[in-house]
Amino acid sequence: MAKSSGSRGQRVGYIRVSTVEQNNQRQKELLNASGRIDRFFEDKISGRTKTARPGLRECMTYVRDGDELVVSSIDRLARSLTDLRGIVDELTGKGVTVTFLHENLIFAKGTTDPRADLMLGILGSFAEFERAIIRERQAEGIALAKKAGKFKGRKPALSPEQVAEIKRRVLEGESKAALAREFGVTRPTVYRALKTPKAAWDKSK
């Protein structure tokens, strides 16, 4: 899709929902309320890095110098402080302004605001800490459920189709570590997938 010409550039919105069941309407309404949005990019997965989010990858390739990327909040753009800082730096480095509506923070190339940088670090750290607390509570809940004999386990991290794709791409010479990052799983998960017969993954669906 060709981008329209103009000195001001485009306002691009990025939306991420944690699961395919979650509704994106609230984020979209918030972005639209901030002004005209020329194009939306969206991910309906909870990838830990930008490599596991095709919508974000496409968005970062699409935006150009003079554009503005609008996101409802920092936790929609990144799942870790390191990833957050890297994404913001990459975007501003190519001349894209990054706006977080909920936190009222704006980052742009050539503008230095120590307070905004400090807030980005603090808020990113809090978001990361909050996710760690949630994981800890989930682990405690699972432990209690196991003790009570109620825990049934969780669904496989990879679908049979994803396992087949990983096996094919490994045979083509791709790095297992890179594939683990792309699919948002650990390397041991990839190794187990490569060793597990297809029938076993089919039964686990």
Categorise residue 112: left if φ over 0, alpha if ψ from -120 to 50, beta otherwise: beta
Kindly report which listed range (42-46, 112-116, 162-166, 172-176) carries the lowest average pLDDT score. Answer: 112-116
**How do residues 46-83 score in pLDDT, each as one tens digit?**
555 556 789 999 999 999 999 999 999 888 888 777 78
Q: Rounded to whole angstroms, how far apart are CA atoms 71 and 106?
A: 10
Q: Rounded to whole angstroms, how far apart are CA atoms 157 and 179?
A: 13
Say whether both 26 and 87 belong to one domain. Answer: yes
Does residue 147 or residue 129 have the better pLDDT? Answer: 147
- The CATH number linked to 74 is 3.40.50.1390
Number of domains in the chain: 2
Q: Over the chain, what is the mean pLDDT?
A: 78
Residue 173 within any structural domain of the chain: yes
- Active-site residue among 4, 5, 7, 18? 18
Residue 129 within any structural domain of the chain: no
18 catalytic? Reply is yes
Which residue range(s) make up the domain with 15? 11-122
Q: Which of 72, 103, 122 is the last residue of a domain?
A: 122
Q: Which of 75, 103, 122 is the last residue of a domain?
A: 122
Sheet architecture: strand order including 97-100: 39-43, 11-16, 68-71, 97-100, 105-107
Residue 24 within any structural domain of the chain: yes
Closest CA to 163 of 177, 174, 179: 179
Residue 170 within any structural domain of the chain: yes
The pLDDT confidence band at residue 6, using thresholds 50, 70 and 90, is very low
Q: Which of 104, 122, 140 is the last residue of a domain?
A: 122
Say whether both 18 and 113 belong to one domain. Answer: yes
Residue 137 within any structural domain of the chain: no
Residue 141 within any structural domain of the chain: no
